Structure 1
Amino acid sequence: MTRIIADISVSLDGFVTGPDPGPRNGLGTGGEALHTWAFSDDPDDRRVLREATVRSGAVILGRRLFDVVDGPEGWDDSSGYGADEVGKPAFVVVTTTPPTSVRLTDLDWTFVTTGLADAVATARERAEAASSAGGKDLDVILMGGGATVGSALEAGLADVLSLHLAPVVLGAGTPLFTGGAPRTLVQRSVISTSTATHLTYDVSG
């Protein structure tokens, strides 16, 4: 069964970037510390990263995150989604207007201009098709940015929240949560390493 998984790294004070993020500095000032775990040699960090990417049948990004990863300082063969560890899932971008050009032409991009719910539906269809073709269950990963993940959680579009809590206080930046209705989640797993605490919650229902 295909699940919609919101998967994002966050600081102890709730930010998913440092201050002043932009197309050439997507994580903002000091925000690289949020993702130290993704480049760690710790076997638990490596396992968490690989399990997340291997199960990806489709990946959803907001437009600002797309502009970062497709920009001149964005993804390459060593730092793209899952890098060399997995195959290439479909990428679905939520945007008001598709870009006039794409740098990463070897990736499978779909641009949805009718809202986040439609983007989730499109990504689910792509993941389910990949699941059928591959004979295994694949999920949709909501990888960000923060506004996209927060909106999906608030709208009830995500089944699972996977947080990678970095041991850093950024002081400012892009917050993951900006309000909304209270909600109690069901904690499913906790994996602690020196670079992050990996937390998984059920949010649906």
Structure 2
Amino acid sequence: MSKVKVTAFSISLDGYGAGPDQSLETPLGKGGEQLHEWFIPTKMFQRMMNKEEGTEGTDNDFAEKSFENIGAWIMGRNMFGPIRGPWPNDEWKGWWGDTPPYHVPVFVLTNHAREPINMKGGTTFHFVTDGIESALEKAKKAANGKDIRIGGGVSTIRQFLQAGYIDEMHLAFSPVFLGAGEHLFAGIDLPKLGFTDVQTTYSENAAHVILKKGK
């Protein structure tokens, strides 16, 4: 059965998924790059960067698993790119160049319409202007029975959490404090949303926590 999942989402020990003062130069906010130090060295990430080297082990296992059985992605506009407001032109096609690592349809939440972008490797970016329910409906059709991955950022995940649409989350807690920024769980009652099953695996660089809704 298709699941709506958050996977390999990095978070600080004090609950922030991005630092303060996000900008083109610091898209993850001040200190936000520290959240991903468990992921960047992995063989999975290095392969995404078209490199052969990379670490194996627990972190890489979780990185690899995060892409398994994914039939569609949903992401916020900030995760697609740094541009705000109306699209000035069609030049920006995402952070990842001509061959993004998604390889499936990706539905980008935005207030500004744009024609779909077909990329190499099977990725097509669709721009959804009528809310998360519409994006989820479109993603389910595109996924054709596979899972839907909610890719972030924090605001997007919070919207899907608060609406009760997320079935499972894999959070990678990095051993850093940010102190400010975008907090993932502020005002969110996870037990009330049905998350009761917790599994934790530790690596040298992160605590990998799986949260699932109880049966």
TM-score, normalization by structure 1: 0.81
Determine whether 1:31 maps to 2:36. Answer: no
* Cα distance in structure 1, aligned partners of 2:196 and 2:72: 24
Contact 1:24/1:72 (<8 A) preserved:
no
Contact 2:116/2:126 (<8 A) preserved:
no
Determine whether 1:167 maps to 2:168. Answer: no
Q: 1:140 aligns with which of 134, 143, 148?
A: 148
Residue of structure 2 in register with 1:58 after alignment: 72
* Cα distance in structure 2, aligned partners of 1:158 and 1:17: 20
* Cα distance in structure 1, aligned partners of 2:169 and 2:190: 15
* Cα distance in structure 1, aligned partners of 2:209 and 2:12: 13
What do residues 114-154 of structure 1 show as CA deviations (whole Å, max 9, x unaligned)?
101111111111111xx5xxxxxx31110101011011111
Residue of structure 2 in register with 1:18 after alignment: 19
Contact 2:11/2:172 (<8 A) preserved:
yes
- How much does 1:29 deviate? 1.4
The letter of the residue matching 1:110 is H
- How much does 1:77 deviate? 7.5
Q: 2:108 aligns with which of 93, 96, 119?
A: 93
Structure 1 residues 44 and 68: CA distance shift in structure 2, 3 A: farther
Structure 1 residues 100 and 23: CA distance shift in structure 2, 3 A: farther
Contact 2:29/2:181 (<8 A) preserved:
yes
What do residues 139-198 of structure 1 show as CA deviations (whole Å, max 9, x unaligned)?
111010101101111110111121111111011111112314452522343221011111
- How much does 1:18 deviate? 1.4
Unaligned runs of 5+ in 1: 82-86, 132-137
Residue of structure 2 in register with 1:67 after alignment: 81
Q: 2:204 aligns with which of 172, 183, 194?
A: 194
* Cα distance in structure 1, aligned partners of 2:10 and 2:32: 10
Look up the SS of the partner of 1:54 in the other structure: coil
Give the RMSD, CA atoms, in angstroms.
Answer: 2.7
Unaligned runs of 5+ in 2: 42-54, 84-90
- How much does 1:92 deviate? 0.7
- How much does 1:2 deviate? 1.1
Structure 1 residues 20 and 197: CA distance shift in structure 2, 3 A: same
Look up the SS of the partner of 2:139 in the other structure: helix
Q: How does 1:153-164 map to 2 (within 5 A)?
A: 153-164=161-172
Percentage of pairs with the same residue: 29
Residue of structure 2 in register with 1:84 after alignment: none
- How much does 1:39 deviate? 2.0
- How much does 1:204 deviate? 6.8
TM-score, normalization by structure 2: 0.77
The letter of the residue matching 2:67 is T
Residue of structure 2 in register with 1:45 after alignment: 59
Contact 1:3/1:140 (<8 A) preserved:
yes
Determine whether 1:203 maps to 2:213. Answer: yes
* Cα distance in structure 2, aligned partners of 1:139 and 1:182: 21
How many residues get paired?
Answer: 190
